[in-house]
Amino acid sequence: MKRDIVISIIFRVISYAAFAIVIAIFLTFILEGFMYFSPEFFTQFPQMGMTKGGIFPAIIGSVSVLLLSLAVAIPLGVFTGVFLSEYAGKGFFSKIVDTSITALSGVPSIVYGLFGLSIFCITLGFRTSILSGSLTLAIMTLPVISSSVREALQAVPRELRESAYALGAKKSEVVFKVVLTAAKERIITAVLIGGGRVIGETAPILLTGAIFYSTMMPKGILDPVMTLPSHIYYITMAYGQSAQWMAKGASAFLMIFILIIYSTAFYIRRKIGNAHK
């Protein structure tokens, strides 16, 4: 028994230490970056070789990429999730769809970038643009959203479906009017998590949609953009000490943004979890 207590103490210390370190890291980053926040920081273009000005174009770029890719990924992801949960049986076709989604979920993001570069930028002629980047990210988020939607729908109690059938509803009516509505909150959580992933993703956007620096706003979805992650990457790698403040500020802003998205998602999830108990 004594040995067990010793081990329990060791394990507890290791666990606490690991998480304390990781959390301390991010807090430092957020707090240090927070010092650089000012109205100009959010509303101006970078100036004087990134030593002055702000990250306005990167914010606009990130938001437009996020919205466009979610507009594509949400319908695709929800429908695929509906198929996996409600329509898939034991057949060959269902098995292949299931395996494809699993395989897609494991593909490295850089490979999605290569794929997007080859199909959207070159073959379809969208070049390096918001559209190419958003479509690439939408495809990358598809497995994330669809597997969470599948889980969300499977958590809907059977009785609900059966009562709807008993009332004479057809299959699609049961699925779209009853099951999807019942799982609404969980689906919002799934979409938020997908969105959090899109906004932080860097490698695919470097290949398909981002540029180093732009002095103008993108005029349409066929123009390239700066995004927050790509901006952080370029500043950290290619600029000297005098520009690092902007990377810190942008990182802090990105972290806060993602933390808000994730906390909302997990708050909703926890609330449903408690309601079901």
Partner 1 sequence: MNKREIKNNFKNIMVVCVACFSILILVMIFGFIIKESVPAISREGFKLFSGMLWYPTHSEPEYGLAAMFIGSLLITLLTAVIVLPLGYIIAFFMYGYAKPWEKNIIKSSIDLLSGVPSVIIGSFLLVYVAPIFFKLGAWSRENILLGAVGLTILSLPYTASLMEEAMSSVDKSMKEGALALGATKFRAGFSVISKAAMPGLMNAVILTLNRIIGETMVVLMASGGAAIIPMSLWDPVRPLTAAIASEMGEVELGSIHYSALFAAGLVLLTISFILTLISKKISRRSSK
Question: 206-245: which residues touch partner 1 (CB under 8 A)?
Answer: 206-207, 229, 232-233, 236-237, 244
Min CB(60)–partner 1 separation in Å? 18
Q: Does 264 bind partner 1 (CB under 8 A)?
A: no
Q: Are 220 and 195 in contact (CB under 8 A)?
A: no
Q: Does 103 bind partner 1 (CB under 8 A)?
A: yes
CA atoms of 6 and 9, how far apart (whole Å): 5
Total number of residues that touch partner 1 (CB under 8 A): 88
Interacting span for partner 1 (CB under 8 A) from 42-50, 119-127, 159-167, 215-223: 119-127
Q: Does 106 bind partner 1 (CB under 8 A)?
A: yes
Q: Does 277 bind partner 1 (CB under 8 A)?
A: no
Among 55, 137, 139, 144, binds partner 1 (CB under 8 A): 139
Min CB(120)–partner 1 separation in Å? 10
Q: Are 233 and 180 in contact (CB under 8 A)?
A: no
Task: Return the number of the residue (80 or 129) whose C-beta is nearest partner 1.
Answer: 80
Task: Return the number of the residue (39 or 257) whose C-beta is nearest partner 1.
Answer: 257
CA atoms of 24 and 118, how far apart (whole Å): 40
**Longest CA pairwise span in the chain (Å):** 70
Task: Return the number of the residue (41 or 112) whose C-beta is nearest partner 1.
Answer: 112
Task: Return the number of the residue (39 or 123) whose C-beta is nearest partner 1.
Answer: 123
Q: Does 71 bind partner 1 (CB under 8 A)?
A: no
Interacting span for partner 1 (CB under 8 A) from 34-42, 45-53, 140-148, 151-159: 140-148
By CB under 8 A, the residues from 182 to 211 that bind partner 1 are 193, 196-197, 199-203, 206-207
Min CB(206)–partner 1 separation in Å? 6
Task: Return the number of the residue (65 or 254) whose C-beta is nearest partner 1.
Answer: 254
Task: Return the number of the residue (88 or 160) whose C-beta is nearest partner 1.
Answer: 88
By CB under 8 A, the residues from 10 to 69 that bind partner 1 are 11-12, 14-15, 18-19, 22-23, 25-26, 28-29
